[in-house]
Every structure is written in structure tokens, then in C-alpha cells.
Amino acid sequence: MKVIKVGITGGIGSGKSVVARILRVLGYKVYDCDKSAAGILLSDMSVRAALVDLLGDDIYLHDGRLNKAKMSGMLFNSPSVRADVNAIVHPAVIADFIRWAEMHSADRLLFVESAILAESGLISAVDKSIMVSAPRPERRERVASRDNISVAQADERIASQMPDEDKCRLCDFVISNAAGDRLLPQIREVIGSLLQD
């Protein structure tokens, strides 16, 4: 039995984490790229060494934790530093996902949640992909409310990501998460299609 690895993506505020939660409730395993990346930044010694080489010793605090303030400042202010950091972290996350998928090879379907499925290169490690989509005004409101920021700041974050239209073109399925949309029937329909392959 071949395992089908499925990527779940979508812009900030689209609801991809909600879709991932529903899949977990339905009994499916979902790899969380954000959580895994945070763990890799702490535990993977080759990643740590590469980040120290790139950003300096103080990128990690004395207690071993990541200096998040310094990291976010550097990533925000320098696209070239962001690209260099991504070149260190993304391959490590992809390798970790592949190991995780091998550990769960008895499952028919495995899912991975990533806001940057295509941009990180992770899309090449999955068999199918799902785009979770929502209208921009709704995403803006969700992000502003969730992160306690202004609507303008939320809009900036949305604008900094790959446009939904581009993500939709790269994905095999689209789940609509506009107000009033029911997610569960759409998720069940996608699962049905995946299991027919």
C-alpha cells in the first residue's frame, strides 16, 4: 500500500490550521511545519552551527533558546539574510518531514501543514496538495483579531505572501473557507478523491 503524502497550504488567515485540526479529529496524522521548524532550530546541531556562522553567536541565548528578537529583526530587515536562513532551515524541515512520513508508512494518507509549501520546496516531497482559500477581507479581519494588530498591518502580512491565485494553480484541490462555507463536507470530498487514486 502506497502512502499518499498531502500538503495543506494557504495564506495567513485562510484557515489551513483549522483544516489540519479537523483532519486530526478525523484520525489522520498531520505534520506541523512551524512547530517542527521551531524544534529543529533548537535541537539540530548542524542547523544551529550554520545559523551561528551566518548570524553570530548571539543568535542563541545563554540558556540555548533562539534569540527570537534578533532573528525576527534580521529576517524582517534583510531579504538576503531571510533567503540565507531559509536555505538552512527549509531543507532540514523537508528532511524531517520525510523521516516522519517513513515512520508512519502504515498510514494510507499523511498530511503536512505549511504556509510556504511551494516557496520552501516542500511541495516536491508530497504527492498531492490542498489550498485553503478565503476572501482577502475576511483573512485581514481574522489576522487582525487573532494577532491583535491593525487591519493595515494584517494586510501587509497578507501582501508579503505568495498570492492565492498562484498557490491555487500549484495545488490539486481547493477548499473554500469563506464565511458560511462548511469545511467538513469539502474535506471528506477531498479525502474520497485521494483514496480513489
pLDDT digits (tens, 9 = 90+) for 137-185: 899 888 888 888 888 888 888 887 888 888 888 999 999 999 889 999 9
**Average pLDDT of the segment spanning 99-115:** 96
29 is in an annotated binding site: no
121 is in an annotated binding site: no
Among 193, 176, 165, residue whose Cα is nearest residue 138: 176
pLDDT digits (tens, 9 = 90+) for 32-53: 999 999 999 999 999 999 999 9
Residue 196 above 80 pLDDT? yes
pLDDT digits (tens, 9 = 90+) for 43-79: 999 999 999 999 999 999 999 899 988 888 887 778 8
35 is in an annotated binding site: no
Q: Between residues 158 and 93, which one has the greater pLDDT?
A: 93
17 is in an annotated binding site: yes
What's the longest Cα–Cα distance across the chain? Answer: 52
Residue 185 confidence (pLDDT)? 96
- Is the pTM higher than 0.75? yes
14 is in an annotated binding site: yes
Torsion sign over Cα 43, 45, 47, 53: positive
124 is in an annotated binding site: no
d(CA 54, CA 48): 10
CB 136 within 8 A of CB 10: no
